[in-house]
Amino acid sequence: MPDTRASALPGFPRWQESSVRLIVIFLALVLIVGLAWVIRSRITNATIESMQWVSHTHEVKATVFELAASLNEMEAAAFAAQSDPLSEQAAHRYGGARARYAPLLQKLRDLTRDNPEQQERIGMLRVQAEGRVKLFDAALMERAAGRNTEAGQGLAAAVTRFPIDEVLKGLIDDEEHLVAARQDVVERRAAMGSWIIGAVSLIQLLLLAAIVWGSENQLRRRLAAEAAARQAVERAQLILATVREPIAVVTRDLGILTCNQAFTDYYAVEHGGTLGDSPAWNDPVLLQRMRDVPLTRREVWDYELAQTVGSAESMRHVVVNARPMQLPDADDTAILLTISDITARKQFEAQVLELNRQLEGKVAQISDSNRELEAFSYSVSHDLRAPLRHITGFAEKLQRHLGDDADEDTRHYSEVVVNSSRRMSSLIEDLLTYSRLGRHAMRLRGVDMQSMVEEVRIALTSSAEDRDIAWRIAPLPVVVADENMIRLVWQNLLDNAMKYTGSREQAVIEVGLGEPTPLEFVFYVKDNGVGFDMAYADKLFGVFQRLHKASQFAGTGIGLASVRRIVSRHGGRTWAESAPGAGATFFFSLPRSQTQA
């Protein structure tokens, strides 16, 4: 299953993510440790340098002191020699001091080569020292010559003319300043160094904490994921165990690798066994197809069969599905077997089939009796016509036979006989027409309602030229219908409208189309005639149902029944709206597509 979880680093697959993290952590470590090392070594170097400078200053100072000592020694020895010219010791001390000062001066010069001020002072010191030496030497030579006074004067002059204390003090002071400044630098650097080292340590600590926190987090996440995975596995196992459908994973030899409780209950086999242990698995075709599943990777789809299952050995109808399944822990392809018990469905199907069979029988019975009824009504109406013809025929013959001999009553009686049989014959004719409407096959084709209404209107008005009728005919569509039947509908509706507006001076008959719907067309014929009471509206469309006396309005009461029969054979509806005296509106609908007939 592909890992659908979003990667924490966008743009990186998961396997790269961890190595990127490792590299980042390593770089941070290198940076922190390396930086600390660099900074510390730099601070140490600076400190060492500063300390070297301090010791250098101390060396300078020591040299200055040594120089000062040699000069003072020279001065003291000169005076001693002057007071005791015979003292070998004094002369020796003088000579030693005189020989020492020049190299010390040179050493001092070398030491302070970087300090021009000191170099200047050293220059001055040399001049003074050399001046003193010259005067000392001259004074000592005077003393040797016995001129003691001159010698004393010469020595005093040397000390006063060539003072050295100021210069020496300047040298010492300068070095004192330098050593103080350098000491300061050393201290500041040391302080800064400890600050930086503290900061670096803090950063190292923080980084360490971050790494620990990160790995702790990682560990927690991994543990959570493992727990979730374990839960998912447990859930899946629970589902497998709980599900009522028998499920098993079998090898290509139909050995049961694993199966759920339902499977065990159903077939009394457990994992470790084979399907063959159960007598239910004995369909050779199914077994072969199942063995083929791992080889051909062709699934067994909804294989229906009846199996004898369980200890009760009941016959169950099942649907078997077998799919190849690649196990994660095995190279072999296994077969996932799922079984659905459709016994209940089969029983339902059988019931439905049985009911259908009964229904078909009943339908056949009904259509048989319908046919019989139709045949009966046809033959009755048919057979009734002949005697009627005879009644009228022979009544007329009787009238002719009696001729002028007939009295008023006789003529009246025979007229009633003739009229009644005529009415009966028109009733029978209409009934036959009505019966034919229900039986004849429909011939569907496009019918232009507009021109048909016009045609019917002209035919009807031609025999009623004395009537004043205002026709309002809206544009009408073309429908798919049986032309002759639909003509009959319009004939009946328009004829009715004309008939029931007979008492109006100005009849208004409106033909129109109702609000169009996607499913049907609704046509209507509206008149301003006598109307009817809506309480009897449901009687209107019945056979031989009339709301008016025959003496008021002629008719047999079959027209609207025919309309309803035709419209409903086309899949439409018929209805009417009216109030007594307020005219009537008759509606009929036709489906837009005529596929049913």
Partner 1 sequence: MIKEIRTILLVEDSDADAEMTIDALRQAKLANPIVHVEDGVEALDYLFARGDYADQPNGSPAVVLLDIKMPRLDGIEVLREIRNSEKFRHVPVVILSSSREETDLARSWDLGVNAYVVKPVNASQFFEAVQTLGQFWAVMNEGRPGN
Residues that bind partner 1 (CB under 8 A): 378, 382, 385-390, 392-397, 422, 425, 428-429, 432, 436, 440
- How far out from the chain centre does Cα 360 lie? 51
Q: Cβ of residue 546: shortest distance to partner 1, in angstroms?
A: 21
CA 359 to chain CA mean position, Å: 50
Buried b / exposed e along 430-448 (16+ C-beta atoms within 10 A): bbbebbebeeeebebeebe
Q: Which amino acid is at 559?
A: G
- What secondary structure does DSSP assign to 44-96, as a single string? HHHHHHHHHHHHHHHHHHHHHHHHHHHHHHHHHHHHHHHH-TT-HHHHHHHHH
As measured in angstroms, the least distance from the Cβ of 557 to partner 1 is 18
357 vs 439, beta carbon nearer partner 1: 439
Tell me how far, at minimum, the Cβ of 379 lies from partner 1, in Å.
8
Q: How far is the CB of 367 from partner 1 (least distance, A)?
A: 17
Given a contact cutoff of 8 angstroms between Cβ atoms, the answer to whether 488 and 449 are in contact is no
Which residue in this structure is represented by tokens 């018990």?
Answer: 341
- Give me the sheet containing 256-259, strands edge to edge: 256-259, 247-250, 333-341, 314-326, 300-309
Residue placing its CB nearer to partner 1 in the complex, 58 or 436:
436
Considering the complex, what minimum distance in angstroms separates the CB of residue 397 from partner 1?
8
User: By C-beta, is 227 or 375 nearer to partner 1?
Assistant: 375
Going from the C-alpha of 533 to that of each of 484, 527, 577, the distances in angstroms are 31, 15, 9
Task: Select 392 or 528, whichever has its Cβ closest to partner 1.
Answer: 392
Is the Cβ of residue 231 or residue 484 nearer to partner 1 in the bound state?
484
| Least distance from partner 1 to the Cβ atom of residue 391, Å | 8
The CB-of-383 to partner 1 minimum distance in angstroms stands at 8
- Shortest Å distance, C-beta 569 to partner 1: 16
Pairing of strands 247-250, 256-259: antiparallel
* 566 in Cβ contact with 489 (< 8 Å): yes
Contact by Cβ (8 Å): 125, 167: yes
What are the backbone angles phi and psi of residue 335, rounded to the nearest 5°? -120, 125
* 50 or 556: CB nearest partner 1: 556
**Is the CB of 338 or the CB of 426 nearer to partner 1?**
426
Are 513 and 585 contacting, i.e. CB atoms less than 8 angstroms apart? no
**C-beta of 286: minimal distance to partner 1 in Å?**
56
Q: Which helix (H) or strand (E) holds 577?
A: strand 574-578
Radius of gyration of the chain (CA): 69
Rank residues 116 and 403 by Cβ distance to partner 1 and give the closer one: 403
The residue (of 314 and 379) whose beta carbon lies closer to partner 1 is: 379
Between β-strands 314-326 and 333-341, what pairing exists: parallel, antiparallel or unpaired? Answer: antiparallel
At 469, which helix (H) or strand (E)?
Answer: strand 469-473
Toward partner 1, which CB reaches closer, 135 or 395?
395
Q: Report the C-alpha gap between 39 and 46 in whole angstroms.
A: 11
What are the CA-CA distances from residue 262 to residues 246, 387, 458, 555 (Å)? 5, 81, 81, 76
How long is the chain? Answer: 597
SS3 (DSSP) at 588: strand
Tell me the closest approach of the beta carbon of residue 427 to partner 1, in angstroms: 11
Q: Rounded to the nearest 5°, which phi and psi values hold at 244?
A: -80, -20
CB of 434 to partner 1, least distance (A): 13
Q: Which is nearer to partner 1, 161 or 401 (CB)?
A: 401
